[in-house]
Structure 1
């Protein structure tokens, strides 16, 4: 009996000791693990929802984007807040419709085209980068910004990423345009023809007509009139030549922080350079929580690809650029895996708007992507202009291989990221985005968005309504914009179309 009790006591003590050691190990592991996730937010430029393989494309090779869908959640009704770069990115950064922040233009030009533009994302707006920086996150934006730089002079940097919560910036302060790449054509051709060439032709006609009348003796035209007309023609021609000569160096350049690092921009290995810098940022901050916004330059025109990708796709220059962009996504995923950060990093992939289906080179080659079955594209509020890829991966937290067909918005990233980082949302303004986590984790089956509004610049153009008692959302036009799309330059300048005359199920 005594031996039995003794053995039982030894067994109990041993078991208790093992349990204590196990609990201690779990506590130490928990204390070593970061309490908040890292964020890698990848935004493609002008990538259509019909381009990635995970959304049905059978010929473009996008294995790394597809990997995010396989290992995470795929949103099939993910919507950009605007079909144009600048307002869409403003909504993404702030979680608010661009009309609330003043980033919805009241003119035909809906985006920033020049580095000297005085407009930009107001300092009164709160970005998710600013919230996370206040929570101790390292923050970086690498790639395209397109939300302004200066207010009053070239030293205030009031709209620069560093004024909106980003510790580190390396990329384009404005955007990538065909005018930035020699031989790629110009988005300003039509505007130049209207603003400069037409007046030049009128002046030339006036000179010839007046000269003929004077020579025939029908009208005594003073010589000073010819001189004035010649000076006007020379001034217009000089203006045209100056614009064409100086646009590239003055508007197409890279910045690192607040300093210009390359002017004019060189496309040689550009994706490799930016991707390598993004990987270095992750490595530098592997021991602390970080936010990386990797804002891809591709696949906006001017299209480019390094020698490893040029001519390798089945879709010409556009396919080459898309496949190189996918490679960059894979490099970032590999770095996370190498540093054992995969399970503690939320990766999000999207595009700022739909593919620019009307983009055609001077030689007639199509340089726009695919919006799949959806009508329209960049620059209009048809479904193809605003429905974009939406992929989220966080192993162990989000389910793998799940599709969600509820209406969601790129504005939803703001409250989702803020809440996961432990930051309260600003209480002095309306936040239009909704926390995605309950929907992503299957805790609810319906999106919190009953309505999603779509603007053509400043004007309400369409609305998506998801009635509480119905399974399908509906889209309907609010008011027709009488403007019409007239090719690349017009589309760049945001001439939108109404989405439909009658409600349609989505």
Structure 2
């Protein structure tokens, strides 16, 4: 056994050694080479989950036994960082191992995520996902749940941004994102704003129509009736559209797809959870004889917090707590599917959230967003820790040690090189990669993270950067720009919905803010030359790293430009004739 421990093991030899070590209670050797070991990969991603919402990260009042058990039997990362504090760019970075600014999944116009399913922006066709590489290595690849990275470019069925165009063999889920508008909830992402704009336009056009009519009748205006009739018809159209804007949004964005086909439009949310779980079980069962990559992208715990009756009122924290506890139950069911097929010891499982919990999700005195614990800020709030620090749990029984905690800086972008390495693939050499394989850390081959610096963007703007000084062990964070918000969370960004990245509501710091996260993880006590002797040296070191990082950036089209985020009727997917789209899970189509 001693000679084998220090050799590069073949797959069968590795399995035998790992199984024996597991049965004997011996921790696997840190120098065992897992490259090309080809385990199954199960990736679990929550939506808008606060890091302090789960028990193994400090929550004592929301019950998350399944996620906690996953951590107890695996490795927990405490400095796991998202590449953005909002959904779309964070998920793009996760799939590519690259900062979203490199793929153009950013903008400078205030729109930080895709706004409509029928928009032309989305995941660039020249980007490579880890799913594509694993697919080329013979893996079965599936995505179940949320996508939110675009759908079409030029027609309603070209599917240029679709998951199947980016390495997934199978997709079942929501091509857009769950929103309050989908359930016609009081908390609306875009309905309320559209209604205000439409009503304003209606009043302007109606006033113009009345003025023209009065002028015509009193002979003050020598015009034909055509402009009077035309403006009146426009006013009626605006009023009608304003009245029906809510169901229009529901049909436009809130639907399910299986591969390229719409299966349910609009969605019936009380059935979605059970359908996702059945889809997971079916995928695992179909592919148990070959290695697979399955990405389960939960709709939980994004507003409107759709929760089945079994979990309503079950938690101590209202609807949000209920939704977290239901998601934890779903995690348990997904893991059960591995147990049922005898795949648990052959599967690496990873759990995370796309970014931190939302402080803006508040109606009246009720908070419908997550809890980020000691960390400052939340979803959409630039580089503050609360919006970018997320859970990170990795389990592989018999291969990775159980119950270990890693306090080194890691990133969601690190998943890309990690799973590619395990599958025996090659990380792309024709582009800059920002993620680093987690395997040396997970196996204790390396004491420190490969990340010396991490950069924190808000849209296209660099808000902050961190430096892990491995010699001293100190973790420095420099803020160049910060959004202004209420720390208590109520109307956090002064009623803006999501904090802006630049302009009004954002403070530019000269000199920059400096925090020592190793002593002040809450970013509560900014340092100064008078309180920190290393202040100038740290600012200079991080500044040089920022300049070197910017040299690696190349101009690319912005996917969230105004022309790319606008709703385009010809791109609207519909099982029927929009807005009369109606189809059920079994594929029957009918116009209503």
Q: TM-score, normalised by structure 2?
A: 0.75
Matches within 5 A, 1:414-425: 414-425=416-427
Matches within 5 A, 1:189-208: 189-203=191-205
Range 155-164 or range 471-480, more displaced: 471-480
Partner of residue 522, structure 2? none
Partner of residue 457, structure 1? 459
1:491 pairs with 2:493: no
Task: State the alpha-carbon separation in 2 of the partners of residues 204 and 376 from structure 1.
Answer: 44
Q: Alignment partner of 1:268: what SS?
A: helix
Task: State the alpha-carbon separation in 2 of the partners of residues 491 and 399 from structure 1.
Answer: 40
Partner of residue 505, structure 1? 516
1:320 pairs with 2:318: no
1:373 pairs with 2:374: yes
Q: Which runs of 5+ in 1 are unaligned?
A: 1-25
1:168 pairs with 2:170: yes
Task: State the alpha-carbon separation in 2 of the partners of residues 345 and 143 from structure 1.
Answer: 20
Q: Deviations over 1:171-205 (max 9, x none)?
A: 00011011111345422244225522233344566
1:432 pairs with 2:434: yes
Q: Alignment partner of 1:331: what SS?
A: helix
Task: State the alpha-carbon separation in 2 of the partners of residues 206 and 150 from structure 1.
Answer: 38
**Structure whose CA Rg is larger:** 1
Range 469-478 or range 29-38, more displaced: 29-38
Task: State the alpha-carbon separation in 2 of the partners of residues 338 and 214 from structure 1.
Answer: 78
Task: State the alpha-carbon separation in 2 of the partners of residues 424 and 128 from structure 1.
Answer: 10
Question: 1:29 offset after TM fit, Å?
Answer: 7.2
Matches within 5 A, 1:55-454: 55-203=57-205, 220=220, 230-361=232-363, 365-381=366-382, 382-454=384-456
Task: State the alpha-carbon separation in 1 of the partners of residues 52 and 483 from structure 2.
Answer: 26
Q: Is the 8 A contact 1:109 1:492 kept in 2?
A: no
Range 440-449 or range 130-139, more displaced: 440-449
Aligned in 2, Cα 1:111/1:434: closer, same or farther, shift over 3 Å? same
Partner of residue 520, structure 2? none
Q: Which runs of 5+ in 2 are unaligned?
A: 1-11, 20-35, 487-491, 518-592
Aligned in 2, Cα 1:88/1:367: closer, same or farther, shift over 3 Å? same
Task: State the alpha-carbon separation in 1 of the partners of residues 374 and 132 from structure 2.
Answer: 38
Partner of residue 557, structure 2? none
Q: Deviations over 1:70-120 (max 9, x none)?
A: 111111110100011110000000000011011112321111121111111
* C-alpha RMSD of matched pairs (Å): 2.9
Aligned in 2, Cα 1:228/1:364: closer, same or farther, shift over 3 Å? farther
Question: 1:151 offset after TM fit, Å?
Answer: 1.2
Task: State the alpha-carbon separation in 2 of the partners of residues 440 and 28 from structure 1.
Answer: 17
Count of matched residue positions in the alignment of Structure 1 and Structure 2: 478
Q: Alignment partner of 2:152: what SS?
A: coil
Task: State the alpha-carbon separation in 2 of the partners of residues 311 and 192 from structure 1.
Answer: 33
Task: State the alpha-carbon separation in 2 of the partners of residues 208 and 80 from structure 1.
Answer: 54
Task: State the alpha-carbon separation in 2 of the partners of residues 292 and 315 from structure 1.
Answer: 31
Task: State the alpha-carbon separation in 2 of the partners of residues 242 and 182 from structure 1.
Answer: 12
Range 265-274 or range 419-428, more displaced: 265-274
Question: 1:365 offset after TM fit, Å?
Answer: 3.0
Task: State the alpha-carbon separation in 2 of the partners of residues 92 and 193 from structure 1.
Answer: 35
Task: State the alpha-carbon separation in 1 of the partners of residues 483 and 379 from structure 2.
Answer: 16
Aligned in 2, Cα 1:132/1:27: closer, same or farther, shift over 3 Å? closer
Question: 1:330 offset after TM fit, Å?
Answer: 0.6
Task: State the alpha-carbon separation in 2 of the partners of residues 222 and 228 from structure 1.
Answer: 16
Q: Is the 8 A contact 1:105 1:458 kept in 2?
A: yes
Q: Is the 8 A contact 1:380 1:498 kept in 2?
A: no
Q: Alignment partner of 2:408: what SS?
A: coil
Matches within 5 A, 1:14-25: none
Task: State the alpha-carbon separation in 1 of the partners of residues 18 and 75 from structure 2.
Answer: 28
Q: Is the 8 A contact 1:269 1:305 kept in 2?
A: no
Aligned in 2, Cα 1:29/1:99: closer, same or farther, shift over 3 Å? closer
Q: Is the 8 A contact 1:88 1:353 kept in 2?
A: yes
Q: Deviations over 1:448-481 (max 9, x none)?
A: 1111111111111111111232312111123456
Partner of residue 19, structure 1? none
Aligned in 2, Cα 1:29/1:400: closer, same or farther, shift over 3 Å? closer
